[in-house]
Chains A and B, each alone.
Chain A
């Protein structure tokens, strides 16, 4: 009652006040949209340029003023990049490598994290040690790894590359899943054990579905990392096992930069990642454990 009374007694703004209020709102609105517009331009501008370059005839690449949209768009760069210049090979290799890395990294990461979270494997420090593996700049180990791989005959080998990527993505997977399992009430699995599950069933039927958001994040990270990794791919592959980033980089040679081809292949490489992004978005939002336990 008191609140209602207070509201009723509050004087209405006079005409002049209302105008000032309105103007301020308008200024704020304009600023906000200007900012959002700039930001979008910053994000989408390069993407647009990649797209437009991929359908430009060669003559339009470097004109002044630039060609914003070609008069006669062409798909020739796509067929050249994919068929003649090993684009398909790159995409196929990338897909294989990223697929292996995603599956292995998530499976091994989940098992390791579950063991660390539930059985205190490695005591207090193992989890942090695992994370610390990400602190080292990867370039520091390029040469040793090249030498090791040469000894092991793993150069230009998709599985060799995948194994290395697993090593790089595993710390993130483990850490991600570890935090998920840590915050999951242990009683859920105990209930499952009493209800008739084995340890593996409890992990598979109860803990795993509840950790889905974590699994999706870890998988997305592993996939995107492997899909975009350039440094090690460049050093460790040459022919058979080249991945998309390496193929694209080879288009930009000394004599002739094949802007159209590199843009076309870039565009093709973006599609799976973009698709994945949309898929993952939905799963990342919700915390599934809500309502599991009381208190």
Chain B
């Protein structure tokens, strides 16, 4: 296995679309890096450039210690798993696995040995004589994995390999890929639009937007310290709540005000960088899991509470997801618009309507015993460390 380095990579298609812009990534030996982002963010294009299926416009790609920019795919020594598996329908499972080895002119016994070893690793031994059309979706997925593994390549490239499976199977195969990757110590670039996959699989996650890298970090860091509104909104489900707010100071403490309500900043949230924003507009972000029904947290201080009106209550058994309205203008930065649009055009329309009404819908994940009912007023507590602040103009995290 080898290290993969991408430096200042750029791709402009012939019709003028700029799919990837100045992208630099380093994937360590044996590391699994996930490229994630909304559709059209350039993640698949990047992967295809690494594979050699797409030419680069600028920048260099290095696999091991070879610059591979101008090498055809077959000379790059990489294996790829495609979204639709791309198994050769006229070949049996055995022949599918043996095909890349035959092309490398390995001896018959060696091919047989490697094919059977991979088949054993993936539980495909009984299926070797079948044609792809006689396999279930999950089995096809395994064969596709097998065809990659059998090669023992420098790196694995996976293009949304699980998106064609149903939810249950996806969870199972996700764990399987995780196990295999650890076992083989395989350098892997994994493309997905599913942030849960990104968070669970990736040693590190690179979040792309419109062909530009937003942040590359461990899943935990991505969650704790999103570099901007876009990252904050993309990672986490349900997504982070955003509201237009203003920073101020009262009794020597920093305080954030949205609409008519204020929250005092906890020590863990009061960064020096915020001082510069006093009296200025900013974006306040709070994750749903950091909100709790105040009725369930009687000890919570009054300056960490705010009120809203319950719109929707979704009981999940273990918790209750509550959508509630707060009188304050939502933020409609470019990031937020794009995030909404990634969900659905209607989601963006909703946001725009809310802005006109001067209302923001928050989502909170409350304890299962909450009594909050649709139409009721509800008092909500923000946990310590829950408040994230972003620059209203650039959307960048206010750090330091």
Give residues in A with beta carbon < 8 Å to B.
185, 187-188, 190-198, 201, 206, 209-210, 288-295
Of B84-92, B121-129, B235-243, the one contacting chain A is B84-92
B89 with A289: CB separation less than 8 A = yes
**Does B349 sit within 8 A of A, measured CB to CB?**
no
A190 with B90: CB separation less than 8 A = no
Q: B53 contacts which of A190, A196, A197 (Cβ < 8 Å)?
A: A190
A196 with B85: CB separation less than 8 A = no
User: Can you give 11 A-B contacts (C-beta < 8 A)?
Assistant: A185-B84, A191-B82, A191-B87, A192-B88, A193-B74, A195-B99, A198-B72, A288-B89, A293-B85, A294-B84, A294-B140
**Does B78 sit within 8 A of A, measured CB to CB?**
yes
Give residues in B with beta carbon < 8 Å to A.
51-53, 72-74, 78-80, 82-90, 99-100, 103-104, 131-135, 137, 140-141, 147, 151, 164
How far apart are A40's CB and chain B's nearest CB, in angstroms? 37
Q: How far is the CA of A192 from the CA of B137 in the complex (A)?
A: 21
> In the complex, given contacts A190-B80, A198-B74, what are 14 additional A-B residue pairs having Cβ atoms less than 8 angstroms apart?
A190-B82, A191-B87, A193-B53, A193-B74, A194-B52, A194-B79, A195-B147, A206-B88, A210-B90, A291-B135, A293-B84, A294-B137, A294-B141, A295-B164
Q: How far is the CA of A191 from the CA of B164 in the complex (A)?
A: 17
A290 with B103: CB separation less than 8 A = no
Q: How far is the CA of A295 from the CA of B84 in the complex (A)?
A: 7
Q: A194-B78, A196-B74 are in contact. Are A292 and B87 (CB under 8 A)?
A: yes
Q: How far is the CA of A210 from the CA of B132 in the complex (A)?
A: 13
Q: A198-B74, A294-B137 are in contact. Are A188 and B88 (CB under 8 A)?
A: yes
Q: Could you say which residues of chain B place their CB within 8 Å of the CB of A193?
A: 52-53, 72-74
B86 with A188: CB separation less than 8 A = yes
Q: How far is the CA of A209 from the CA of B131 in the complex (A)?
A: 14
How far apart are A207's CB and chain B's nearest CB, in angstroms? 10
How far apart are A184's CB and chain B's nearest CB, in angstroms? 10
Q: B51 contacts which of A185, A188, A194, A288 (Cβ < 8 Å)?
A: A194
Q: B100 contacts which of A195, A293, A294 (Cβ < 8 Å)?
A: A195
Output the residue of A191, A197, A290 with the most chain B CB within 10 A.
A191
Q: Could you say which residues of chain A place their CB within 8 Å of the CB of B100?
A: 195-196
Q: B132 contacts which of A185, A206, A291, A295 (Cβ < 8 Å)?
A: A291
A208 (CB) vs chain B CBs: closest residue:
B90
A187 with B134: CB separation less than 8 A = no
A291 with B89: CB separation less than 8 A = yes
Q: How far is the CA of A190 from the CA of B44 in the complex (A)?
A: 14
Q: Could you say which residues of chain A place their CB within 8 Å of the CB of B133?
A: 290-292
Q: A294 contacts which of B78, B80, B85, B88 (Cβ < 8 Å)?
A: B85
Q: How far is the CA of A194 from the CA of B63 in the complex (A)?
A: 15
B164 with A210: CB separation less than 8 A = no
B144 (CB) vs chain A CBs: closest residue:
A191
Q: A196 contacts which of B88, B89, B104 (Cβ < 8 Å)?
A: B104
Q: B89 contacts which of A190, A198, A292 (Cβ < 8 Å)?
A: A292
Closest 9 CB pairs of A and B: A291-B133, A196-B103, A293-B84, A187-B86, A195-B100, A292-B89, A191-B86, A294-B164, A291-B132
B86 with A185: CB separation less than 8 A = yes
Q: How far is the CA of A259 from the CA of B38 in the complex (A)?
A: 76
Q: Could you say which residues of chain A place their CB within 8 Å of the CB of B85?
A: 293-294
Q: A194-B73, A291-B133 are in contact. Are A187 and B89 (CB under 8 A)?
A: no
A290 with B84: CB separation less than 8 A = no
Q: Could you say which residues of chain B place their CB within 8 Å of the CB of A201?
A: 103
How far apart are B69's CB and chain A's nearest CB, in angstroms? 16
Q: Could you say which residues of chain A place their CB within 8 Å of the CB of B53?
A: 190, 193-194
A294 (CB) vs chain B CBs: closest residue:
B164
Q: Could you say which residues of chain B place their CB within 8 Å of the CB of A185?
A: 84, 86
Q: How far is the CA of A292 from the CA of B91 in the complex (A)?
A: 10
Q: Could you say which residues of chain A place their CB within 8 Å of the CB of B135?
A: 291
A292 with B88: CB separation less than 8 A = yes
Q: B134 contacts which of A190, A197, A198, A291 (Cβ < 8 Å)?
A: A291
How far apart are A275's CB and chain B's nearest CB, in angstroms? 25
Q: A190-B86, A294-B140, A294-B164 are in contact. Are A195 and B131 (CB under 8 A)?
A: no
Q: A288-B89, A288-B90, A291-B89 are in contact. Are A194 and B140 (CB under 8 A)?
A: no
B74 with A194: CB separation less than 8 A = yes
Q: Could you say which residues of chain B place their CB within 8 Å of the CB of A194?
A: 51-53, 73-74, 78-80
B80 (CB) vs chain A CBs: closest residue:
A194
Q: Could you say which residues of chain B place their CB within 8 Å of the CB of A195?
A: 74, 79, 99-100, 103, 147, 151
